[in-house]
Amino acid sequence: MPELPEVETVAADLRPLLIGRRLVAAHLLWPRTLAEPDLPALVAGVVGREIVHVGRRGKYLLIALDSGATLIIHLRMTGQLTVMTVAGPTPDGPHVRAWFDLEGGGRLVFTDARKFGRIWLVDRIERVVGALGPEPLDWTFTPEILAERIGGRRAAIKALLLDQAVIAGVGNIYADEALFLAGIHPLRPGARLSEEEIGRLHGAIRRVLHDSISQRGTLLRDYRPPYGAGGAYRDRLQVYQHTDEPCPRCGAAIQRIRVTQRSTHFCGRCQPLS
């Protein structure tokens, strides 16, 4: 599933292609893709509206309109957003689920092989993203805020990092990488982390996310940057999907366990449980 760096890459690619463009039609091929409202209300809400901003909140893509409404798109496992030229009555491709026609030609096309992605049109984004935790790259996200989010929690720190109500945008890849960088075992209870460990983890989270954004995310089977080269952070992954390979620090074999039903990768020597 695309995480914060991948969604940020998509948003950055779409900004110059969409800001200032006006939407002239909306089409839906897979009804469940549209979470809210119904199709007639979606059409009424977007037709004639200008796109004024493209941003992100956690793993959600936000396309703000001049009416004050916002298109919110969650890519889930396999969603992709691209701007295509008009070459026929419908966009090419076997997995097109929805698209929006743009004034002057072109289409914003949503493809989704596994059909898990969702689209909302809302007047207030809090209706969809209001329960998300703080943005880990925001200047207001301090070690003290992280301590507040995980303090007193008995759950494994890996599970807490995956909880979008604790921190927005961190998923399986960057949780594993941040915990390795911080030297913290993924099964350590959040409440047992010291102030010094929380400080290390805070810095590690921000570092891996910034580094991945600079490489346009991590290229995986279900994620490709929409335009140009990218996804090069895959070559910088230290532990994620490196089961049984030598740890880049100490040479011990990278281990894999399951935490909240998610594959979790770590070095038992560099990230001791006790």
List 3, 6, 8, 177, catalytic entry: 3
- Give catalytic status of residue 3 as yes or no: yes
CA angle 23, 227, 119 (to 5 degrees): 45
- Give catalytic status of residue 197 as yes or no: no
Q: Which two tokens stand for residue 228?
A: 């140009």
- Give catalytic status of residue 91 as yes or no: no
List 115, 206, 256, 262, catalytic entry: 262
- Give catalytic status of residue 103 as yes or no: no
Q: Is 179 exposed, middle or buried (0-12, 13-18, 19+ CB in 10 A)?
A: buried
Q: b or e along 101-111 (b: 16 or more beta carbons within 10 Å of the residue's beta carbon)? A: bbeeebbbbbb
Cα 205 versus chain centre, distance: 14
Helix or strand holding residue 55 (H, E): strand 51-57
CB 8 within 8 A of CB 231: no
Q: Distance between CA 244 and CA 261 in Å, rounded? A: 20
List 49, 59, 158, 200, catalytic entry: 59
Could you tell me which of 233, 239, 264, 253 has the C-alpha nearest to residue 161? 264
Q: Distance between CA 176 and CA 261 in Å, rounded? A: 14
List 2, 5, 136, 186, catalytic entry: 2
Hey, what amino acid is at 202?
H
Which own/partner contact pairs does 269-273 have at CB distance under 8 Å and 24+ positions apart?
270/180, 270/183, 271/179, 271/180, 271/183, 271/184, 271/185, 271/186, 272/185, 273/185, 273/187, 273/188
Give catalytic residues, as residue numbers. Answer: 2-3, 59, 262
